[in-house]
Amino acid sequence: MLTISQLAAYAGVTVRAVRHYHQVGLLPEPARDHSGYRTYGAADVVRLIRIRTLAEAGVPLARVQELLDASPSEFGAAVDQIDAELRAKVRELQEHRRRIAQLAAGDTLAVPAEVVTYLDRLRGAGVSTAMVEGERDAWILMAARWPEQIPEFMAEKNAQLDDPRTLRLYLLIDELNEAGLDDERLGAVADLMVEMNEESARRGDLDRQDGALGDDAFVALLDAFATSAHPMVERLQELMAERGWTGWIKMERA
């Protein structure tokens, strides 16, 4: 007669595992000796080994029972099914690996590739890290809301950046962020923005934007985000309002 640790040793499992199998009913509770110890025989070793064989092959414990007393054909079908489940898990993990491989650089985190390119262009042109991060976060939000439109949006953004005044705008705002709020230079920024908005309006860009950004609540959210990130935005909006323009992400004539 065997004690639980001897049984476990013969089968190559832990004592705790044996007790677990008792608990879930996989292995019947054996008789006890005079002091309450469980006593096992050779048949228990056999059953335990067969359980382990299945468990180590990835069979969920809940299904081991049915497999142990299945006919060969049932057994084959069940094995096929379990193998299919294992395949699915493998695929899932492979997908994880694929994704994690794409997370090489910091920016790539949650940002589509087009946006990364755009952000790199900004950085390369001398725009500050803080500003680029703000842009990145804004585009994370955009990509969450309109994943399909991102290539479209980025094409337009890149086109805007071809106009040297756009870059000048970014750099001016960067400077002001460092230097502190200076109403005279802010005024110049606002003037520049108005000038470019007028041109956009003439080209009809604003109308197209109206269609694309058709979720007022979300636009409000983005505006609030911009305001909280850069206090200067609020002041700029006031100056723009004086010049007849409201909004921020989506600019409109008052």
* Nearer residue to DNA within complex by CB, 52 or 243: 52
Residue 73 C-beta: closest distance to its own copies, Å: 10
Residues 226-245 interacting with DNA (rule: CB under 7 A): none
Residue 7 C-beta: closest distance to its own copies, Å: 10
Residues of this chain that interact with its own copies (CB under 8 A) are 2, 10-12, 41-43, 45-46, 49-50, 52-54, 56-59, 72, 75-76, 79, 82-83, 86-87, 89-90, 93-94, 96-97, 99-106, 109-110, 137, 140-141, 144-145, 221-222, 224-225, 228-229
DSSP per-residue string spanning the chain: -B-HHHHHHHHT--HHHHHHHHHTTSS----B-TTS-B-B-HHHHHHHHHHHHHHHTT--HHHHHHHHT--HHHHHHHHHHHHHHHHHHHHHHHHHHHHHHH--SSTTTT--HHHHHHHHHHHHTT--HHHHHHHHHHHHHHHHH-GGGHHHHHHHHHHHHHSHHHHHHHHHHHHHHHH---HHHHHHHHHHHHHHHHHHHHHTHHHHHHHHT--HHHHHHHHHHHHHH-THHHHHHHHHHHTTEE-SSS-EE-
User: Does residue 104 interact with DNA by CB under 7 A?
Assistant: no
Residues 29-88 interacting with DNA (rule: CB under 7 A): 32-38, 55, 60-62
* Nearer residue to its own copies within complex by CB, 13 or 176: 13
Interacting stretch for DNA, rule CB under 7 A, among 26-34, 111-119, 122-130, 156-164? 26-34
Binding site for DNA (CB under 7 A): 3-6, 14-17, 19-20, 32-38, 55, 60-62
